[in-house]
Structure 1
Amino acid sequence: MNKRLLIFFLFTALFSFKAFSNETTRILFILDASSSMSITWHDDKTRMDIAKEVLGNLIDSLEGKKNIELAFRVYGHQSQLGQRNCTDTRLEVRFSRNNAGQIKRKLADIRPRGTTPIAYTLSQAAGDFPSSDTRNIIILLTDGEETCGGNPCEVAQELEQKGVVLRHFAIGIGLTEEVMSSFECLGNHFNAQDGVRLQMILESIIRQITDETSAQVFIGNNVNRQSYTNLNFSIINHHTDEIITSLYHTLSENNIPDTLFIDPVINYNLLFHTIPAVYRSNISIEPGKNNQLTYNMPQGFLSFTISQPSISRTLEDKIRLVVYENENGNVLMNMRNKQNTRFLSDNYKTEILTLPIITRNSTNIETDKTLRVEIPSPGVLNLNKRHEYFGGIFVMKSGELEMIHELKRGNRNETLALQPGKYKIIYRTRLADTAYQTEYLNFNIKSGESLRLEL
């Protein structure tokens, strides 16, 4: 065990995304009072002396701050080391406002005595908060030596599964890189070489907790920093994948994105609900300032129109332009007549669900331009069948017959919207006893006109 080891962890449980300067922040301080905290560390001061000094300074800095509530939990202070009491932890001061004096008086009475049940203490601390609809933070001061076989990393994972999200900062004093690497599972970790540096690091962490932080999201086109707005994006907790909120991007009168107040203690993912969606992961926020986040996602428009004249709005409403993602073939959008939709600039596969289906393997949408796809209004085929038939409607394609519609044997009448062109019906009555009784009927469909055929 490194004789100069003193580790500070900061755990935060976050449950909301709002202007946190106006919401209650609850900070639970947990102090390690195990026997190892009595070891001398620096300037003839023990680890406990330094921990009390740092904790006292932190509490003083938070006294009187708006919307701050504090509480104080200790472990290892009720039983002697030889008793090996691995449940030795107690909430000494409950949450309330302006209780710094009460915490400091209790802090002065604490003496290092027992063992170090860090994992068990963290599991109990989750229940110290009156509710989860606030900004809940745990600051643990310990020499980092778990002596009860617990695993703080596993506890953190278990609490996350229960909806208590932990964010950690580990601060070591004079540690080797090898020792510090063992705390990587707990998040950010720092190595302070002296008490002054330690105080600076902790003050920086407190600023993250208390300073008002904001962000603006710029959506550009690779040329202009701000090019697009009025699109939805989701803000996601990077550590839990929980969607915190979904917002529509908005600009001020000066074409500047509006300001979002954001908690800088955790990292975020952003999911832009463009077509297709754009995902940005593990975004860190600098506390106490306005963070300007810029993401380039060039976009253009695709417009789909069925030309006039229209002879059947009901039939035309069934015609769709389907846009597919080229890489995996996923359907991105199912567009109606006269729909104008914004897409990321790219090549897409499209299908127009007419009879016959019109397929385009390369539909190129250019940045800040509109690609117009227009098809002629279909004609209408009214097909009356005197008998039940096996058959279909065919077109010639690349010199070969291709069936585009199979006749419905249970229906004596069918009404179909067909694109203008030449077609052939090949059919045979169900009662026929030879293939030679197959019949053929050629017909022509004109845009905006109706044709009646009898079989």
Structure 2
Amino acid sequence: MVIGQKVNISLISIFMKAIRYLIILSLLAVFTLSTHQAKSQSAPQKTRILFVLDGSQSMYARWENGQKMQVATRLLRNLVDSLKSAKNVEVALRAYGHQYNVTSTGRNCKDTKLEVPFGPTNHEKIKERLQTIRPKGTTLIAYSLEQAANDFPACDNCRNVIILITDGIEECDGDPCAVSLALQKRGVILKPFVIGLGLDPSVMDAFKCVGTFYDAKDEKTFKQVMGVVISQALNNTSVQVNLLDEMNRPTESNVPMTFYDHFSKQVRYNFVHTINSRGNPDTIPIDPLGTYDLVVHTIPSVSKSDIEIIPGKHNVIAVDAPQGDLELKMSGYNEYKDLKALVRKAGSNQLLVVQNFDETQRYLTGSYDLEILTLPRTYVKGVNIAQSRTTNVEIPQAGLVTVSTPTKGIGSIFLEDGDKLVWVCNLNNLNTRETVVLQPGYYRVVFRPLNAKQSIYTKEQSFKITSGQNTQVKL
């Protein structure tokens, strides 16, 4: 007996140690996961800038005091050097048309290479490589952009930016515009920057669909443009969304709104619209590198597409969103457990929202149809929602009917609508007594015992429902 007790105590001790061990492991796992999530959420976003440099033979051309390639690489080296101290910024270099000459037999339309990949301390490598690149071949912009998509390592918290520096148009039958758009739709990159070096005005339009185009007509302009582009690539700008009422005043607020990337359709930002302490719509930070679609989640929602953000400025986006309130009530005590109403735009079959009774919901101004889930259904057409006002819809208090039957059976309740009977609900064929909540009106119950084998045993009885009263029906 003593031996058995010792064995039991020993087993219990081992079991308790195992439980404590599992608890400690679980707490460590939770702590590790929480720490990782906290770090991920607090980590600042990284900006990755890929310079795509034209190394085609046309870059040998004279440009003020030197060759285009000499001017471009010198200024680019200075720029890369200045980015050493920029926090959360990485740079990389890809070139094209710099490895193979154009010959009488043709041109190499795959002549592009990632010369220096992304890295936190690769600035000197880029500067050194820029000094050795020599113009040789053709201009293959589309294929280079396609390959550039693979230059950005996987990252969940990065902004990928391409800066294309070129002095000529596509020469390999590619479509740079289509490639750029495809990369933006896939969310690989933001809208690229394109810097044209002394381009002929007749070809400039060909680049505007590729990205944000800048014309550098001389060395001084090129230097200024590079500064502007880098400033836009690194800095966020601000946006103010004005939700306008019917008087075109920005008074509407407290509505969620979503900014989507226009091309990829991915969600970029979510904000709840706010009026600040000064009584103005709050300013929100928005990345200027992109075109946006805005959805304001009013009921129904309103949207604005193809929004261009001007970098370095305070942008104001105006959206018509006049609103009013709808309150649903029942006069007297509400017998229904969870009464709701289906709300639609007037004349439309599309459901907007399901609103609870005894609650107030905000809608855009206009006309709405209500389908209230009473027994029978209550329909209220053309409910008008006015600016900054509360529209009250009140329906009569329901009543009760208690139907008692001698046996179990099959029965239904109908609304007497003139000469018509409109089905309302079925009775539970397993019960002999049932209470149903009904709106005021005239009704008829039709019943046949479950075991009756002839229709002539059907019984019926008319009754009236009065608000707040219980009507007894015995068959």
Alignment TM-score, normalising by the size of structure 2:
0.79
- Paired letter, 1:92: E
- Per mean C-alpha deviation after superposition, the further-off stretch among 123-132 and 189-198 is 189-198
1:217 to 241, 248, 252: 241
SS at structure 1 position matched to 2:150: helix
Q: Compared with structure 1, are the counterparts of its residues 74 and 206 closer, same or farther at alpha carbon in structure 2 (3 Å cutoff)?
A: same
2:390 to 370, 378, 382: 370
The offset of 1:357, in angstroms, is: 1.8
Structure with larger Rg? 2
Could you tell me how far apart the structure 2 residues matched to 1:23 and 1:433 are? 78
The offset of 1:192, in angstroms, is: 5.1
1:40-439 map, 5 Å: 40-43=61-64, 45-56=66-77, 58-59=79-80, 62-82=83-103, 84-97=107-120, 99-132=122-155, 133-160=157-184, 162-172=186-196, 173-177=198-202, 179-191=203-215, 193-223=217-247, 225-310=249-334, 312=335, 316-326=336-346, 328-385=348-405, 386=407, 388-389=409-410, 391-396=412-417, 399-408=418-427, 410-412=429-431, 413-426=433-446, 431=452
Could you tell me how far apart the structure 1 residues matched to 2:278 and 2:459 are? 70
Could you tell me how far apart the structure 2 residues matched to 1:20 and 1:87 are? 41
2:47 paired with 1:25: yes
The offset of 1:333, in angstroms, is: 1.7
> Number of matched residues?
428
Could you tell me how far apart the structure 2 residues matched to 1:337 and 1:291 are? 41
- Paired letter, 2:355: M
Q: Compared with structure 1, are the counterparts of its residues 400 and 363 closer, same or farther at alpha carbon in structure 2 (3 Å cutoff)?
A: farther
The offset of 1:122, in angstroms, is: 2.3
Could you tell me how far apart the structure 1 residues matched to 2:216 and 2:421 are? 76
Could you tell me how far apart the structure 1 residues matched to 2:76 and 2:439 are? 78
Q: Percent identity?
A: 36
Alignment TM-score, normalising by the size of structure 1:
0.82
The offset of 1:276, in angstroms, is: 0.6
**Mapped contact 1:175–1:191 kept (Cα < 8 A):** no
- Paired letter, 2:257: F
SS at structure 2 position matched to 1:81: coil
Could you tell me how far apart the structure 1 residues matched to 2:298 and 2:96 are? 50
Unpaired runs of 5+ residues, structure 2, are 1-40
Deviations 1:200-236 (A, max 9, x none): 4443322211334222333232437442332211121
The offset of 1:275, in angstroms, is: 0.6
The offset of 1:44, in angstroms, is: 6.7
Could you tell me how far apart the structure 1 residues matched to 2:221 and 2:180 are? 27
- Per mean C-alpha deviation after superposition, the further-off stretch among 263-272 and 404-413 is 404-413
Could you tell me how far apart the structure 2 residues matched to 1:181 and 1:224 are? 37
Could you tell me how far apart the structure 2 residues matched to 1:257 and 1:20 are? 26
Deviations 1:337-393 (A, max 9, x none): 211111111111111121222212200011111111122321122223436346541
Deviations 1:73-109 (A, max 9, x none): 2223233334844443333333345654543332122
Could you tell me how far apart the structure 2 residues matched to 1:257 and 1:22 are? 26
**Mapped contact 1:237–1:243 kept (Cα < 8 A):** yes
The alignment yields a C-alpha RMSD, in angstroms, of 3.2
2:53 paired with 1:34: no
- Per mean C-alpha deviation after superposition, the further-off stretch among 387-396 and 243-252 is 387-396
**Mapped contact 2:238–2:313 kept (Cα < 8 A):** yes
Could you tell me how far apart the structure 2 residues matched to 1:286 and 1:325 are? 36
Q: Compared with structure 1, are the counterparts of its residues 150 and 236 closer, same or farther at alpha carbon in structure 2 (3 Å cutoff)?
A: same
Unpaired runs of 5+ residues, structure 1, are 1-18
- Paired letter, 1:79: Y
Q: Compared with structure 1, are the counterparts of its residues 249 and 347 closer, same or farther at alpha carbon in structure 2 (3 Å cutoff)?
A: same
